[in-house]
Amino acid sequence: MPRCGGVLRAAGAAGVPAAAIHGRWPDIAASVPIEPADVVVCHHVLYNVADLVPFVRALTTCAKERVVVELTDRHPRAGLAPLWQEIWGIHRPDGPDATAAAEVVREAGIEVVTESFEVPARPSRGRAAIVAGIRRHLCAGPERDGEIDRLLPGDFDTGRRSVTCLWWPGAAEG
Ligand SMILES: C[S@@+](CC[C@H](N)C(=O)[O-])C[C@H]1O[C@@H](n2cnc3c(N)ncnc32)[C@H](O)[C@@H]1O
């Protein structure tokens, strides 16, 4: 189930009309009954997009003024690479990162501007919940929790996060 309930609730609370359309972008782009927007935003989605170019081109055709894409500087799971090595003996990459994403967009002929900044730390979920969440990402059972707890830095998940916005002009008429 897509994670859009929070966005719809926030829009409702702000009195902004909102609708959710379930589907994979850009596959559903042609069937989305929306007018081009002044600004199109895409928040922390690029990580799982295998083919960035059609994805960002479809965003561009929906925006009259600007497309703004936010993502963390490094892939959110890149920090788990040492644990993959320790728990499973599997080498995982140290990226990709926002610079690589920007290069791909640029190579597609889009004049992308990047802006990096820090966002405040999220309230801690508590060590046990953090460990359990990471264990699920690592596809391990709860019997590995103690080991994962020992391997994780004490302040894991609570620090400020470095994020990057990529933005470029929209191409929709209007
Ligand atoms: C890290 S969550 C971010 C959710 C929300 N945008 C936010 O910022 O809270 C990433 C979401 O992107 C969705 N997603 C990944 N690739 C997608 C695609 N090609 N089309 C639509 N959604 C996609 C995933 O299903 C997941 O719900």
List, in order of start, the domains of the chain with CATH numbers. Answer: 23-119+160-174 (3.40.50.150), 122-158 (no CATH)
Contact 65, 169 (CB under 8 A): yes
Question: Does the C-beta of 122 come closer than 6 Å to ligand 1?
Answer: no
Whole-angstrom Cα distance, residue 95 to residue 160? 18
Question: Does the C-beta of 49 come closer than 6 Å to ligand 1?
Answer: yes
Counting from 1 in the atom list of ligand 1, the atom nearest the Cα of 42 is 6
User: For residue 27, what are the CA distances in angstroms to 10, 48, 55, 87, 142?
Assistant: 26, 14, 9, 37, 37
Cα(29) to centroid(ligand 1), Å: 15
Cα(7) to centroid(ligand 1), Å: 12
Counting from 1 in the atom list of ligand 1, the atom nearest the Cα of 25 is 20
Whole-angstrom Cα distance, residue 81 to residue 98? 17
Task: Give the per-residue pLDDT at 122.
Answer: 81
Counting from 1 in the atom list of ligand 1, the atom nearest the Cα of 3 is 27
Contact 168, 69 (CB under 8 A): no
φ and ψ at residue 28, rounded to 5 degrees: -95, 0
Task: Give the per-residue pLDDT at 2.
Answer: 53
Question: Does the C-beta of 140 come closer than 6 Å to ligand 1?
Answer: no
Question: Does the C-beta of 3 come closer than 6 Å to ligand 1?
Answer: yes
Counting from 1 in the atom list of ligand 1, the atom nearest the Cα of 76 is 1
Strands, E, within 10-124: which ranges? 37-43, 63-72, 113-119
Q: Splitting the chain (174 residues) into consecutive groups of 10 residues, what average pLDDT does each group show?
A: 76 91 92 87 93 96 96 92 96 94 96 95 88 96 96 81 95 84
Residue nearest atom 17 in ligand 1 by C-alpha distance: 24
Question: Does the C-beta of 44 come closer than 6 Å to ligand 1?
Answer: yes
Question: Does the C-beta of 4 come closer than 6 Å to ligand 1?
Answer: no
Task: Give the per-residue pLDDT at 174.
Answer: 72
Task: Give the per-residue pLDDT at 136.
Answer: 96
Question: Max CA-CA distance within the chain?
Answer: 58
